[in-house]
Structure 1
Amino acid sequence: MKRSYSLFFSALLLCSIVMAQDDSHYQTPPKDITDLALSKPTPTVTVDGKGQWMIIIERASFPTIEELAQPEYRIAGIRWNPANFGGSRTTYFNSLQFKNLKTGKTTTLTGIPEDLKGTSLQWSPDQASVAFLHHGNDRIDIYTAKPADGIAKKINGKPVNAVIGSSFSWVNNDMIIYKSAVGSGKAEPVKKAAPTGPVIQESLGKAAASRTYQDLIKSPHDELLFEYYATAQLMQIQLSGSDVVEKPIGEPAIYRSFSVSPDKQYILKGVIQKPFSYLVPWSGFPSSYTVTDMAGKTVRTITNNPSSEGAPIGFDDVVSFPRNIDWRDDEPSTIYYVQALDKGLGRTTSANRDAVYTLTASGNEQPKELVRTKRRFRGIDWGNAQTALLYEAMFADRKSRINLLNPATGAVDSLHERSSNDAYNDLGNVVSTRNEYGRQVIKIMKSGDILLTSSGSSPNGDLPLLRSLNLKTRATRELWRSQEGVYEFVVDILDAENGDFITRRETPTETPNFYMRNFRKPSKKGGLALTNFTNPYPQLEGVSKEKISYRRADGIDLTATLYLPKSYDAKKDGPLPVLIWAYPREYKSAADAAQVRGSKYTFTSVSYGGPVFWATQGYAVLDNAEMPIVGEGSKEPNDNFIPQLYLNAHAAIQAVASRGVGDSNRVGVGGHSYGAFMTANLLAHTNLFKAGIARSGAYNRTLTPFGFQAEERTYWEAPDVYFNMSPFSFANKIKTPLLLIHGEMDNNSGTFPIQSERLYNAVKGHGGTVRYITLPYESHGYASKENILHMLWEQHQWLEKYVKQPDSKKAF
């Protein structure tokens, strides 16, 4: 009898295991959601600087799970495909079309591989040719093509190395330099069956705080693999003449960067040195910077930088050695770099934060100090000998400044200052042009004006604009602005003096397309249409879209985008179940937090990670519901994180309920990454929701002890903040059904899969309703068709069961 019972229970256990395995097969969501997710997105474009050719770029579809499951190494903070010495998680284009903007004729590029996996499209200096990479199964190659003939050809002899940094660059119209994979075709280092000893790390009393980086070197074998795959040989390809001539430049090395001087006489090389770090990714490894001639002979050493281990990690902190090492775009062969004057410590008091130095490529003079900054250096736009724009900012006070710099004298004059959170007063991005060296520099008009493009943020939403700024008088003038009712922004300035430029235009019902305009001869007809892309999302036709405004209890104005189902009538159909999707952001000013962001006139685009799918399934969807976290004065935003989350969420629910379109008793909330963190906190501290969806989040902040998101303080400086902001600390209070989804191979700093694993176990251990999905081979963002469709199925089932029909006993 005991044997019979034993057999019975064994069979029952086996049956339950089989059923559990069957239940874990890939599923697909309803047809409308599937069709939307797999829709071919609107192409992107790039236009040559002469306004003659437009390239229409079509993105490849989602890879299959089989493609994602190909071998991958995750070492030194990067992920690569060992089969072809290239990135393992890359978004490709699979088609290029050349459109002649003068004649309107479009030609599809030929001569490319049938299964093109293209990246890194670059125009030649004269804009007559393009080059790009094709990622094959066992090697990466460079193809070039002239839009005039539309035929591509492979130009490299050796396989390209695209493991780290840029892999190729045009030198002139007839020459390209690229990195070849030295190890291609050779056996990789073999891992010994038994280690020669333990892995040892040691600290001898020097502070060495470190962020929670993923995929770091963990063993001597990892070091060997990184060196093997990252080592490259610089190669020069001469394209002129009937035959392609290829020759090496210098010796193989691990190149973190390489760039040719504006006058094409020198190469600035950044080379990674040993010892490799186990605490920081490759970008923080010791590196030497040298200048060589075009044959590879060293003519000057710029600096030998140590590892960034132990460097301060505050948001205003930087390394104490030279950084931002690059060529000046406005001179033949002058190098500039930046070095901290405050030892890189942003929290200390200092009259000046950084200094910019210059030196010639081939000389032996000491570096010359060009200018000092009051705040942390954020970049330079070079113009000519008398004109440059110098950018500086500090995170601590959220202040940024644009300075007018005279490179000849070092004289600095403040041009514009604002809060970095103040979108309304953003001056914009400077318009550039190619100079005599083929480098992008500030376009200075004959009038002495420069041009700037801006998102045009305003209380009426974003109305992108093009403006001029006179550098002498500081007077600004609006040259063109998107009209009310449409969302249109500047893509490229073709002829600044004549006024020709290209825009991308869309409306809530019109697919984005590209137009030729002229700001000197404005046309009310909308300019000349350059493309005629059709709606890729017919399933959304009839779905209404509205940017709504509402106010939270403490007076801060908020916005969100509301989607309602096709043919929905609030009076007839009544309030709908609601899905709110959001992502918190931090501000130091309530006024900045209350600014209107985004536009109500954009076309509804679909991303696999967004919530708009459920507008086709009978839900009111509130997307991009603003979740500002404000800390004014001496207060940091996170000092009051949870109460402000409640205010934001409550205001969003009341906004849809007061319109009569949302049922405040049937609301789900979701988000990705920091939005997932938000979701778990809302379920732990409020009773506002029927269910939550949290994807790839971090839930225990003690696992990110040296800062996270916009929190600069460490765990030891603000332990209460870390504890109270961690939903893991309150897992016993999470009784609202929570769906956790995480990529098995998440590479994002801090969002290790263990974050979801531990929260799942904690909620489960306290009797909460929780489901945890691990998506095989996925990183922080998801890629494969099967995983994405299954994710959407999981989310749909969760919403149907716990939000639309909260009392239903329906099982998965």
Structure 2
Amino acid sequence: MHYQTPSAAIADLVNLKPDPLMLFGPDRKHIVMADRPNYPSIEELREPKLKLAGRLINPDTFTPHGHRGYFDPRVRNLDTEEELPLRGVPAGAYFRYFNWSPNGKRIAFCLATPTGLQLWSCSIDDLECTPHGEATINNSLGGSPFDFVNDNTYLIRRRNPAAVRPVKEKKVLGPNVRDTSGKEGSNRTYTNLLQTQYDVDLFRYYSSGQLYLHDGVSGTEEKWGSAGIIAGLAASPNYKYFLVTFVEEPFSFNVPYDKFADRVEILDEHGERVVLLEERPTMEHLPPAFGSVITERRRFTWRSDHPAQVFWTKALDAGDPRNEADFRDQLYALTEPFTGEPEPSVKLPLRYGAVGWCRGDLAIIVDWSWKERRQVTRRWWPDEPTREPVIMYDVNWEDSYNDPGSFVSITNPQDHNVLLTRDQGKKLVLTGSGHGPAGTQPFVDEYDIATGATERLWQSTPPHFERPLFFLDQHPDYFILAREQKTERPNYFLRQILTGEETQLTHFEHPYPQLRDANYEKVQYARTDGVKLSGELHTPQHFKAGEDAPLPILLWAYPQEYKDADNAGQVTTSPHQFTRISPLAPLPFLAAGFAVFDDFAMPIVGEGDVEPNETFVEQVRMNAEAAVKTLVDAGVADPERIYVGGHSYGAFMTAHLLAHTDLFAGGIARSGAYNRTLTPFGFQAEERSLWEVPDTYIKLSPFMYADKIDAPLLLIHGEEDSNSGTYPVQSRRLFKALNALGKTARLCLLPYEDHGYAAEESILHMLWEMETWMSKKA
């Protein structure tokens, strides 16, 4: 069939102008702004695409497929509130990877051309833009393809000049053969992997690059380092050394490229190797438990507050969290000139997670345990490596009400992140979500390093919902916040944290005034076992529950696993947040006269040693029964016109609800997985394999209960879904089963679409399918 369009009221909500890119300069007086495109067309999605090693590559441009970038770049001066366009760039062009020089005097970016990316830059003084070299950048593996070495010098990742594109052998020489390794290990169902030797040759050609050192003043350029597949590049704070990761052969047919074998080196400013830090094998055989890691050195990082000191961690439990161990990870350090032995540093009882640098006597390190849902934040002393760290916070990450927040970082003059301190270095700064029974109220706290006491400096207050975004690097009394209300979209402000003085930075208008006055209510209720639930109820503007006739209603959700029933019922949204409407979410159907119960609670709780998935079916049923009863009793929902839907794991939930309840007039399942035997090494929060708990995998497969799905089911799927576990075959097989069993179902496969739908034609047709499906009985 041809692409269809939903009713005008719904279609009008699709092409809304997105918020622009906003990138603050180091002086925080200037902002690079650029507009984002709405949606690509189907023709753009049809552009050439190679599926290699877990990547989608445009072979014409050596870039990730489907990323257009930004347009209409300009600079806003916060002192004068003037916006000036970048000069000298081609009209109608798209741009990517905007970046500021360390001193904030230059802006660099990539121009997207038909043959690839080209580096350009301009001075902040006149905004006159000039190119740097040809459009030969290699960005096939994503990430920024250039970096500042100093204020006028760049390292650019270009295509390997010695590489020759392979030609596919026309003659079939023989079968493709692979052997098992004989080693135990599990991997999830990755997509778009290498399949043949020709794929190997293509991946080598498109991913291999050569770094060049480019002088922005003279325009001269010279090779830097050796050619190869560069997966990581990071300069030391003194810019005399570079941490570089190269992907190594042989490539794997079982995992994506970020799990391929690699080697990690430190190169000097001339591109010469100083030291080989590690050579690591392909990650095909990790233990199945969450938190499993390789046994080699990993997580290499520069210490941000030191001129040239590199840190890494190494497992002390053989990389397997199932092993008993007093300590799971240990950090090591190596200091310029990198000729000595690594210096052992802090040992961690849990798995290493992150580090925040500040100074020799202060750093923050985080370790965690999946099994306990535990996260520990510790203070430690990098210059005293054997000194035992001190626990600052020990929390259950599912317990949102007791989340103390995260320590704030700023960018230092060396362009590295360091912890923000106040009061002559005696205090740190925390920002947090501020979840609570009355709703979310983000905050900024000051943390006394000596005592551990906190003082609240600022908190969002009703009727606004405000979020602190970041503090100014050179002026730490100022921070940027986003402010919104239920009927006012987010705008951005510069606020002085001590005096409360503010400057408004943006003046975005309401994007869909036709729905400004729609009703919104945070509904709280409970399921039969006492677990507290909540959901976001949206009804048309003039609807009054109990007075007007009940409405057709769409319930939309995404299941979440918990280990504690009390945490499952916590409120993590605010009634004062702006009602943002995405065409990929259910709210457009407000415009068609539906009520919408969005993000209604779908907790799956497994306390103690019980895994949540053991009672998944029973709990999704209880959650849905509680929601439907609440909406019907309130006079909101017509019990004959209640629909349920979801995307991905929400689609999986939807199929189960139609198989195991009689609550719904129909269901909408988008890009889901329905046969868990096709994801045998785990899915979502399930870390056990099919062979360990076969009955659980069968019970959790709605495909096995297709004969019990009596309500009409609409299945929508992107034909090129690359998400792990949700191959299009999942929807195809379920539809075939429903068809053979005489059930009412419809399958819509969207051409060229991935797990999330991108093209305007696809999104409009998806909405038409959903509207038409629910209108059959509405």
Counterpart check, 1:81 vs 2:58:
yes
The Cα shift of 1:183 comes to 5.8
Query: In the TM superposition, what is the alpha-carbon distance from 1:546 to its structure 2 partner?
Result: 2.1
Q: Could you tell me which of 293, 299, 312 is aligned with 2:287?
A: 312
Q: Which moved more, 1:171-180 or 1:580-589?
A: 171-180
Please say if 1:285 is aligned against 2:260: yes
Cα distance in 1 between the residues matched to 2:475 and 2:94: 38
Q: How does 1:39-438 map to 2 (within 5 A)?
A: 39-90=16-67, 92-166=69-143, 167-182=145-160, 188-239=165-216, 241=217, 243-410=218-385, 411=387, 412-438=389-415
- 2:735 and 2:477 map into 1 onto residues whose CA distance is 58
Question: Does structure 2 retain, via aligned residues, the 8 Å contact 1:498–1:520?
Answer: no
Structure 1 residues 428 and 113, CA, compared in 2 at 3 Å: closer, same or farther? Answer: farther
List aligned pairs for 1:524-543, cutoff 5 A.
Answer: 527-543=502-518
C-alpha distance in 1 between matches for 2:659 and 2:476:
59
Could you say what secondary structure the match of 2:421 adopts? Answer: coil
SS at match of 1:269: strand
715, 733, 736: which one aligns with 1:758: 733
The answer to whether the aligner puts 1:792 opposite 2:770 as a matched pair is: no
Give distance in 2, aligned partners of 1:659 and 1:144.
Answer: 60
Structure 2 contact 666–712 (Cα < 8 Å) conserved: yes
AA paired with 2:534?
Answer: T
Is the contact between residue 242 and residue 268 of structure 2 (CA under 8 Å) also seen in structure 1?
yes
1:631 aligns with 2:606: yes
Is the Cα–Cα contact under 8 Å of residues 375 and 397 in structure 2 kept in the other structure? yes
Counterparts of 2:344 and 2:307 in 1: how far apart (Å)? 19
Is 1:32 the counterpart of 2:14? The answer is: no
Label 1:332 to 1:559 Cα distance change in 2 as closer, same or farther (>3 A).
same
Counterpart in 1 of 2:478? Answer: 500
Alpha-carbon separation, structure 1, partners of 2:476 and 2:169 = 67
Q: CA deviation at 1:198?
A: 1.9
Describe the superposition over 1:107-147 as per-residue Cα deviations: whole angstroms up to 9, x where unpaired.
Answer: 23333333333332222212233222233221111222344
CA distance in 2, matches of 1:113, 1:724: 58
Per-residue deviation, 1:498: 6.1
Whether contact under 8 Å (1:237, 1:245) holds in the other structure is yes
CA distance in 1, matches of 2:13, 2:202: 41
Cα contact 1:315–1:395 (8 A) shared by 2:
yes
Whether 1:452 and 2:430 are equivalent positions in the alignment is yes
**Helix, strand or coil for the counterpart of 2:682?**
coil
Code of the aligned partner of 1:773: C
Is the 1:289–1:302 Cα contact (8 Å) retained in structure 2? yes
Counterpart Cα distance in 2 of 1:426 and 1:122: 33
Mapped partners of 2:584, 2:648: distance in 1: 11
Structure 2 distance, partners of 1:498, 1:39, is 35
2: CA distance between counterparts of 1:216 and 1:369?
A: 38
Q: Please give the per-residue CA displacement for 1:476-502, whole angstroms capped at 9, x wherever unaligned.
A: 011000012111111221268762211
SS, match of residue 685 in structure 2: coil
The answer on 1:441 being equivalent to 2:421 is: no
Pairing 1:475–2:450 present: no
User: Contact conserved, 2:18 with 2:37, CA < 8 A, in 1?
Assistant: no
CA distance in 2, matches of 1:165, 1:55: 21
The reply on whether 1:616 has 2:591 as its aligned counterpart is: yes
Aligned with 1:604: secondary structure?
coil
Aligned to 1:11: none
Query: Which residue of the partner structure matches residue 565 of structure 2?
Result: 590
Deviates more, 1:787-796 or 1:99-108: 99-108
Q: Distance in 1 between matches of 2:592 and 2:333?
A: 60
Q: In the alignment, residue 712 of structure 1 is paired with which amino acid?
A: E
Instruction: Decide whether the 8 Å contact of 1:700 with 1:755 is kept in 2.
Output: yes
- Does the 8 Å contact 1:505/1:515 carry over to 2? yes
Quote how far apart the aligned CAs of 1:649 are. 0.9
Counterparts of 1:48 and 1:593 in 2: how far apart (Å)? 41
Q: Structure 1: 5+ residue runs without aligned partners?
A: 1-23, 805-812
Aligned partner of 1:18 in structure 2 is none
The separation in 2 between residues aligned to 1:285 and 1:431, in whole angstroms, is 33
Distance 1:165 1:382, change over 3 A: farther
> CA separation in 2, counterparts of 1:68 and 1:458?
43
Q: How far 1:41 sits from its partner (Å)?
A: 1.9
User: What does residue 808 of structure 1 align with?
Assistant: none
Q: Deviations over 1:35-72 (max 9, x none)?
A: 11111123342323333112333211211101100110
| Unmatched segments (≥5 aa) in structure 2 | none
Q: Distance in 2 between matches of 1:150 and 1:574?
A: 60
Mapping of residues 550-569 of structure 1, within 5 Å:
550-569=525-544
The offset of 1:187, in angstroms, is 5.8
Kindly indicate whether the alpha-carbon contact (under 8 Å) linking 2:288 and 2:688 is maintained by their aligned counterparts in 1: no
User: How many residues align structurally?
Assistant: 774
Q: Is the 8 A contact 1:342 1:352 kept in 2?
A: yes
Range moving further from structure 2, 188-197 or 696-705 = 188-197
CA contact (8 A) 2:420 2:476 kept: no
Match in the other structure for 1:809: none
Does structure 1 residue 490 correspond to structure 2 residue 468? Answer: yes
The 8 Å contact of residues 41 and 536 in structure 1, kept in 2 or not, is answered as: no
Query: Deviation digits for residues 775-805 of structure 1, max 9, x if unmatched?
Result: 1011111111111111111111111114x2x
Out of 668, 674, 678, the residue aligned to residue 693 of structure 1 is 668
Letter in 1 for 2:395: R
Contact 2:410 2:472 in 1 (8 A): no
Question: Helix, strand or coil: the match of 2:266?
Answer: strand
Question: What residue identity is the alignment partner of 1:502?
Answer: I
Contact 1:32 / 1:539 at 8 angstroms: preserved in 2?
A: no
Show CA shifts across 1:3-55 (max 9, x none).
Answer: xxxxxxxxxxxxxxxxxxxxx10001111211111111233423233331123
The alignment partner of 1:424 has SS state of helix
CA contact (8 A) 2:406 2:431 kept: yes
Q: Could you tell me whether the CA contact under 8 Å between 1:233 and 1:253 is conserved in 2?
A: yes
Residue identity over aligned pairs, in percent, reads: 37
- Cα deviation, residue 682, structure 1: 0.6
- Give the letter for the 2:581 counterpart: V
How far the C-alpha of 1:509 sits from its partner, in A, is 1.0
Across the aligned residues of Structure 1 and Structure 2, the Cα RMSD in angstroms comes to 1.7
Question: Aligned residue for 2:711?
Answer: 736
Letter in 2 for 1:276: F
Partners in 1 of 2:465 and 2:568 — Cα distance? 23
User: Quick check: 1:29–1:793 contact (8 Å CA) kept in 2?
Assistant: yes
Bigger drift between 545-554 and 749-758 goes to: 545-554
Question: Is the contact between residue 445 and residue 496 of structure 1 (CA under 8 Å) also seen in structure 2?
Answer: no
Could you tell me how far apart the structure 2 residues matched to 1:264 and 1:584 are?
A: 46
- Conserved 8 A contact 1:300-1:361: no
- 2:703 match: secondary structure: helix
Shift of 1:602: 1.1
Distance 1:165 1:577 in 2: 44
Contact 1:547 1:560 in 2 (8 A): yes
| Displacement after TM superposition at 1:642 (Å) | 0.7
Post-superposition Cα deviations, 1:604-651, rounded to whole Å, max 9, x if no partner, equal 212221000011111110111110000001111111101110111111
Matched, 1:510 2:509: no
| Alpha-carbon separation, structure 2, partners of 1:158 and 1:272 | 24
Quick one: structure 1 residues 495 and 433, their matched pair in 2 at CA, closer, same or farther if it must change by over 3 Å?
A: closer
